[in-house]
Amino acid sequence: MSTAKRVRRVFSVKEELLNKSREAALAAVQIFNNPNVTFKSETYIVLMNIAWTYLLHAHYRAKKIDYRYFTQGSKRKQYDRTKNGAFKHWELERCLNEEECPLEREVVQNLKFLIGLRHEIEHQMTTRIDDLLSARFQACCINYHHAAASLFGEGYGIAKHLAVSLQFSSLSQEQVDTLEQQTGLPGYIKKYIEGFDGALTSEEFASEKFAYRVIFVPKTANHPNQADQVITFVKADSELAKSINATYTVIRETERQKWLPSQIVSKVKAEGFPKFGMAQHTDFWKSCEAKNPANGYGVQVAKTWYWYDSWLVAVRKHCTDNSGAYR
């Protein structure tokens, strides 16, 4: 194949990838905004996963980075193929782990959260995650526009097709209270969220690239020219913004104190139960099935289990009720 033909092929494949990527992103938003669809989050995650994968494939193709799986033979690459003979291309997570990945760390964290969430819900029926995780879906959508526009030009972004990218609905105070309590959230989803968020730094969690959080305050219009103004934007350094942010940080729903098993034992020993050691702690949590996510006593982050304050309370009660054995 001549050099000119190769150049044309690279260009045409890149364009096709970008067009398919954009179509998938727009379809994801349209479905999420459709009031007749109840399977919003699951569909949104799958379609945005496809959109980002194609976008990064287009980037790597433009950079002449081979994004196909292969085994290096003595003379040539042996490419992995599907049973029907097609090349096996990198999935999104592999694209994100590539050294040449052009995305910012917080953008990568947002996508890895959604990938992990997709794994959790792939074979499970989910409920009530649309509202709880909409800030992360919103960030994913905005991040996609900025990445496509910065890598390939404004014409490849999606902002011009969207007024407010993901739809917002009015919530009653009762609904807000319910969301904060996370009542009815599947245990395995809650465990995944707490584990992922617990491994983030404060800066990563607070970044709008990880979760785009917007607070809407109902307002009575005082002047005729304000009557149709739905959203009021305030400067981030204003007194109002500082006040709102100070309040919001108090209700960060997934940031909870975590304790290692050794810390639980040390605290209980210091409180007057010197005979309560690691062996006794292990026997106790096993007898209670305390690591069952449905109990909400702790969470696994990477390969380490952490206990919440609720478990510390349970251990204290256990030691008090059996003080003769542990003093």
Is 309 within 8 Å of 256 (Cβ atoms)?
yes
Is residue 231 pLDDT above 60, yes or no? no
Distance between CA atoms of residues 265 and 284, nearest Å: 12
Q: What pLDDT, on a 0 to 100 scale, did the predictor assign at position 105? A: 92
What would the pLDDT profile of 41-83 be if each residue is shown by its tens digit? Answer: 888 999 999 999 999 999 999 999 999 999 988 888 899 999 9
Is residue 180 pLDDT above 70, yes or no? no
What would the pLDDT profile of 78-116 be if each residue is shown by its tens digit? Answer: 999 999 999 999 999 999 999 999 999 999 999 999 998
What would the pLDDT profile of 289-327 be if each residue is shown by its tens digit? Answer: 999 877 778 888 777 888 988 899 899 999 999 999 999
Which residues have a Cβ under 8 Å from the Cβ of 101 and sit 6 or more positions away? 56, 95, 108
Is residue 261 pLDDT above 70, yes or no? yes
CA neighbor of 54 nearest in space, from 88, 9, 89 = 89
**DSSP H/E element including 110:** helix 105-121
Summarize the confidence of residues 267-274 as an average pLDDT. Answer: 93
Summarize the confidence of residues 196-204 as an average pLDDT. Answer: 79
Distance between CA atoms of residues 61 and 17, nearest Å: 10
Distance between CA atoms of residues 211 and 137, nearest Å: 7
Is residue 172 pLDDT above 50, yes or no? no
Q: What pLDDT, on a 0 to 100 scale, did the predictor assign at position 123? A: 57
Q: Please, what sign has the CA dihedral across residues 13, 18, 22, 28? A: positive
